Chain A
Amino acid sequence: MKKVFKMFRPDHKFARGDGNSYIKIENLNVSIANNHILKNVNIDIPDNKITCIIGPSGCGKTTLLKTLNLLIYAIDGVDISGKIDVNGTNIIGRDFDIEVHRRMMGLVWQKPVPLPMSIFENVAYGCRVNGTFHPRKLKMIVEHYLTAVGLWDEVKDRLRAPATSLSVGQQQRLCLARSLAVEPSFILADEATSALDPMSSKTIEELFVRLKENYSIVMVTHTLSQAQRIADNVIFMYMGQVIEAGSAEQIFKNPQHELTQNYISGAFS
């Protein structure tokens, strides 16, 4: 009992983070219904860093995240070529355990999407799906991750209430806790703060900064100031192509490409 307890409450440090998770995307092409959306994308995503993807609307950021956790296969008429090396396994065009892979990629959406269940069950759902049913263990996991996202004190007295009874900001943190509860190696966040008020979005931002210690984080954002605040690496995309990639400092202070310069100076949105 004590051992299990320790396993799930290592002083609110996260269980993950061995320091060698990485994604290496090579010549990735994605088209949906003959519409070429991602063109020859090459990206390196290191561990323990926040990689921000920026770029104008419709440039393929969401599509890239969906490709990374293979949700893209749920769309009709997709065609993918290239290579995505995740911790040494190519996830494109190979037969392997897609559920295990998806679990490794914690996804946070622009708008919080709670499952039609109670607060508790929302966090426990992923564990149940992956074979953890022991009630006491589930309780510990739920408490641990709700604490990790700073929601535990706010909801500990109403864990059985519907998830929809939370405020939008709380729901977003709940969704993050739910993703973390299946112990992913990566966190993919798609404009995770754009539906939130400034306070809630600051909370999430701080969380990400704290989480990068143990996770590799990919974050899509439209808020350049947010990227400047928390990004380690920045990738600028335009019309389905990666125009420029590099450290945050380099991209923001000294962008090489004209498109990047225009985008960062706010010439187009």
Chain B
Amino acid sequence: MKKPKIIKNLKLLEELIAKLLMYVALFVVVAFAMSIVVTIISRGWPAMTWEMVSQVPGSSFLLGGDGGILNAIVGSLYIVGASTLLGLAISIPIVFYMNVYLKKTSKFGYIARLSYDVLFGIPPIVFGAFGFMIMVYFGMRASLLGGIIVITLLIIPVFIRSIDEVARNFPREILDVAYSLGATKLQTLHVVLRQILPGVATATLLAIGRAIGDAAAVMLTAGYTSAIPTSLSQPAATLPLAVFYQAMSPIEEVRQGAYAAAFVLTLIVLALSIGGRLIMRYFSKDKIH
């Protein structure tokens, strides 16, 4: 009679400890995330001035002079916007081809998916170095175009991996319906897109997150400048680098500016993910479950 009770108590204890550990883990992660947000807001907000977001840096900006980070805001938006559109335009046909044209057992499809997985895991600095090498080979200087191309390459694996995930669960009967109504394989694109659009939206959010936060690849390929680029061949500043350069400054006031830049970066990411979520909800309405 005694033994079962002990076992029962042991099981309760086990459950209790497991629960406790999970709570602790959850708390640590949430606390960590909150502390980042709180730090950025509490230190970034006081440093936020209208000048910060409406002016390009003056000649002695990093030494405490006049100016703001408009160059980096615009540069980041240019690069992220263009590479997201390019990335979508390249990834969607690839995913469509892999899922509609290739057979499930296709070796080519298998190798392609493996390659995208490998690319997904390669750190941005390697993309940057690789892009830089190619640019040097062609005699290109650090430029907006270079940044856009490298960031596009950087986020294509993100797009393909996450859209493919959704596309592989695409109900085959829907394709059969489209075929039976006389659609060619290419014409089924419309139907496939309608079904996987929510997945495309999620993928876009992930890709934008990776694109906008990257410092390593753009440092090598887009460079940094105080001016707002007016053509693709000019270098472009980006927000992560604006944070980096200001944070490295020995002057306290300039270091404050780093928080302001981080604040702007966070706001943009936040706005994009909330906007993305709303768009996603709108597009999911016709989806077949």
Question: Which residues of A does B touch, CB under 8 Å?
Answer: 69, 71, 74, 76, 99-100, 102-103, 105-107, 109, 111, 113-118, 125-126, 129-130, 162-164, 175, 178-179, 182
The answer to the question of B230 belonging to the interface, with a C-beta cut-off of 8 Å to chain A, is no
Partner of B286, one of A103, A109, A118, A178: A118
Asked if A74 contacts B105 (CB within 8 A), the reply is no
Who on chain A is nearest to B170 by CB? Answer: A116
Q: A99-B184, A129-B182, A163-B286 are in contact. Are A115 and B104 (CB under 8 A)?
A: no
Asked if B288 contacts A116 (CB within 8 A), the reply is yes
Q: A109-B173, A129-B183 are in contact. Are A115 and B105 (CB under 8 A)?
A: no
Inter-chain pairs besides A71-B176, A99-B184, A116-B194, 10 sampled, C-beta below 8 Å:
A103-B182, A107-B176, A114-B288, A116-B195, A117-B194, A118-B286, A125-B178, A130-B181, A163-B286, A175-B177
Q: A116-B191, A116-B287 are in contact. Are A71 and B180 (CB under 8 A)?
A: yes
Asked if B285 contacts A115 (CB within 8 A), the reply is no
Q: Which residues of B contact A102 (CB under 8 A)?
A: 179-182
The minimal Cβ–Cβ distance linking B199 to chain A, given in whole angstroms, is 12
Q: Which residues of B contact A162 (CB under 8 A)?
A: 285-286
Partner of B181, one of A109, A114, A164, A179: A179
- A69 CA / B105 CA spacing, docked (Å): 24
Q: Which residues of A contact B286 (CB under 8 A)?
A: 116-118, 162-164
- A101 CA / B29 CA spacing, docked (Å): 59
Asked if A164 contacts B191 (CB within 8 A), the reply is no
Q: Which residues of A contact B184 (CB under 8 A)?
A: 99
Who on chain A is nearest to B103 by CB? Answer: A76
Asked if A74 contacts B176 (CB within 8 A), the reply is yes
- A99 CA / B180 CA spacing, docked (Å): 8
- A164 CA / B239 CA spacing, docked (Å): 44
Interface residues on B, range: 20 to 34
- A192 CA / B288 CA spacing, docked (Å): 19
The minimal Cβ–Cβ distance linking A128 to chain B, given in whole angstroms, is 8
The minimal Cβ–Cβ distance linking B188 to chain A, given in whole angstroms, is 9
Asked if B181 contacts A182 (CB within 8 A), the reply is yes
Asked if B289 contacts A164 (CB within 8 A), the reply is yes
Q: A116-B174, A117-B194 are in contact. Are A105 and B181 (CB under 8 A)?
A: no
Question: Which residues of B does A touch, CB under 8 Å?
Answer: 103-105, 171, 173-184, 187, 191, 194-195, 285-289
Q: Which residues of A contact B183 (CB under 8 A)?
A: 99, 126, 129
Q: A109-B173, A115-B174, A118-B286 are in contact. Are A76 and B182 (CB under 8 A)?
A: no
Q: Which residues of B contact A109 (CB under 8 A)?
A: 173, 177
- A100 CA / B182 CA spacing, docked (Å): 6
- A246 CA / B176 CA spacing, docked (Å): 31
The minimal Cβ–Cβ distance linking A172 to chain B, given in whole angstroms, is 13
Q: Which residues of A contact B191 (CB under 8 A)?
A: 115-117, 125
Q: Which residues of B contact A164 (CB under 8 A)?
A: 286-289
Q: Which residues of B contact A117 (CB under 8 A)?
A: 191, 194, 286
Asked if B179 contacts A74 (CB within 8 A), the reply is yes
Q: Which residues of A contact B178 (CB under 8 A)?
A: 115, 125, 129
Q: Which residues of B contact A118 (CB under 8 A)?
A: 286
Q: Which residues of B contact A76 (CB under 8 A)?
A: 103-105
- A102 CA / B178 CA spacing, docked (Å): 10
Who on chain A is nearest to B195 by CB? Answer: A116
The minimal Cβ–Cβ distance linking A76 to chain B, given in whole angstroms, is 6
The minimal Cβ–Cβ distance linking A163 to chain B, given in whole angstroms, is 7
- A164 CA / B179 CA spacing, docked (Å): 20
The minimal Cβ–Cβ distance linking B64 to chain A, given in whole angstroms, is 57
20 A-B residue contacts at CB 8 Å?
Answer: A69-B180, A71-B176, A74-B176, A76-B103, A76-B105, A99-B182, A113-B288, A114-B288, A115-B174, A115-B177, A115-B191, A115-B194, A116-B286, A117-B191, A117-B194, A118-B286, A125-B181, A130-B182, A162-B285, A182-B181
Q: A115-B194, A117-B286, A118-B286 are in contact. Are A71 and B179 (CB under 8 A)?
A: yes
The minimal Cβ–Cβ distance linking B177 to chain A, given in whole angstroms, is 5
Q: Which residues of A contact B195 (CB under 8 A)?
A: 116
- A118 CA / B191 CA spacing, docked (Å): 12
- A117 CA / B195 CA spacing, docked (Å): 9
Asked if B181 contacts A129 (CB within 8 A), the reply is yes
Who on chain B is nearest to A114 by CB? Answer: B288
Of B103, B176, B287, which is in contact with the most chain A CB atoms at under 10 Å from its CB?
A: B176
- A129 CA / B182 CA spacing, docked (Å): 7
The minimal Cβ–Cβ distance linking A140 to chain B, given in whole angstroms, is 18
Q: A71-B176, A113-B177 are in contact. Are A182 and B288 (CB under 8 A)?
A: no
- A164 CA / B177 CA spacing, docked (Å): 15
Who on chain A is nearest to B183 by CB? Answer: A129
The minimal Cβ–Cβ distance linking A217 to chain B, given in whole angstroms, is 15
Who on chain A is nearest to B171 by CB? Answer: A113
The minimal Cβ–Cβ distance linking B195 to chain A, given in whole angstroms, is 4
Q: Which residues of A contact B187 (CB under 8 A)?
A: 129
